C-alpha cells in the first residue's frame, strides 16, 4: 500500500485493557496478558508486512507497574521472555531488528540476557524495528539521558557551545525516528508518561476497544485515519 509520507512511520501502542478483558471473562489477570501477547504478534505481523511502517514500539511494562501484585509481575516477565524466545527465529525471517527501551537493573537477569542476545543478532536489519518498552517511563528516560549528557558535556572550558539538542543523543534509542502515531486502547485518554521526548509531535488515536480485542483491521483503520490528518509541526 502506498504511503503519503517520505519516510516509514513509527507507530507506538499503549496496550491497555488486558486485566479488564480477563475480568470480563472471569479469568486471572495474567490470562489477559497471555491473550495480549497473541494479539501483539498478529499486529506485529501486520506492521512488518506494510511498507508504510518502519518501526513499532509497544509499552510492555512501565516504571510504575512494579506496584502491581508480585505474582502478576512475575507472570508478565515470564510471558515476555517466552514471547521473545518463540519469536526469535521469526525476527530473523522477517528481517526485524529488536531493541529494548527502559531500565535493565530491575528486570530478571534471564530476560536482560535474552534481550541483549536478540538485539545483537538482529542489529544489522534496517527495514523494520520492533521496540519493546519494558520497565520504561518517559520521565525516567529523560532523567537518565540528562545524567549521561551532564557527564559528557563536562568540559574544562566555559566557552563550549552545547548542541541544539543536547538530550536526544543520550536517549535509549536516538537512532529511532520520533513517534508519528500513538494508539491507546481501552478508552483511556491519558498520555501516562509515555515517550515524552519522542512523542512531542505525535498524533494520538484513542479507541474504546480493550487491547485483546484490537485487531489488525483496527490497526489498519487507525493508520488510515492518521494519514488523513495534516501535520503542521507548529508551522
Residues forming the active site: 16, 65
| Angle subtended at Cα 163 by Cα 161 and Cα 165, rounded to the nearest 5 degrees | 145
Please name the residue ranges forming H helices in 123-156.
138-152
List, in sequence order, the alpha helices (H) in 124-182: 138-152
**How far, in Å, CA of 154 to CA of 147, rounded?**
11
Dihedral (CA of 112, 114, 120, 123) sign: negative
Helices (H), 50-174: 70-93, 109-122, 138-152
Closest CA to 18 of 2, 34, 32, 4: 32
Q: Which three cell numbers stand for residue 209?
A: 476497544
Please say whether the beta carbons of 45 and 220 come within 8 A.
Answer: no
Amino acid at each position: 500500500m502506498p504511503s503519503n509520507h517520505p519516510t516509514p512511520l513509527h507507530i507506538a501502542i499503549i496496550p491497555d485493557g488486558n486485566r479488564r478483558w480477563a475480568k470480563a471473562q472471569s479469568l486471572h489477570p495474567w490470562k489477559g496478558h497471555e491473550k495480549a501477547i497473541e494479539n501483539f504478534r498478529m499486529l506485529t505481523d501486520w506492521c512488518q508486512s506494510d511498507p508504510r511502517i518502519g518501526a513499532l514500539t509497544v509499552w510492555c511494562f512501565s516504571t510504575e507497574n512494579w506496584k502491581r501484585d508480585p505474582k502478576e509481575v512475575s507472570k508478565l516477565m515470564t510471558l515476555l521472555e517466552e514471547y521473545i524466545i518463540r519469536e526469535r527465529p521469526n525476527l530473523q525471517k522477517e528481517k526485524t531488528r529488536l531493541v529494548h527501551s527502559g531500565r535493565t537493573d530491575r528486570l530478571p537477569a534471564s530476560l536482560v540476557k535474552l534481550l541483549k542476545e536478540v538485539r545483537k543478532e538482529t542489529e544489522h536489519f534496517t527495514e523494520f524495528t520492533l521496540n519493546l518498552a519494558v520497565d520504561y517511563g518517559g520521565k525516567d528516560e529523560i532523567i537518565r539521558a540528562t545524567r549521561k549528557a551532564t557527564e559528557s558535556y563536562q568540559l574544562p572550558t566555559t566557552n563550549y557551545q552545547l548542541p541544539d539538542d543536547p538530550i536526544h543523543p543520550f536517549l535509549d534509542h536516538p537512532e529511532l525516528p520520533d513517534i508519528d502515531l500513538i494508539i491507546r486502547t481501552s478508552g483511556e485518554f491519558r498520555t501516562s508518561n509515555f515517550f515524552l521526548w519522542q512523542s512531542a509531535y505525535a498524533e494520538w488515536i484513542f479507541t474504546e476497544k480493550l487491547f485483546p480485542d484490537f485487531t489488525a483491521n483496527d490497526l489498519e483503520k487507525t493508520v488510515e485515519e492518521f494519514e488523513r490528518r495534516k501535520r503542521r509541526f507548529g508551522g
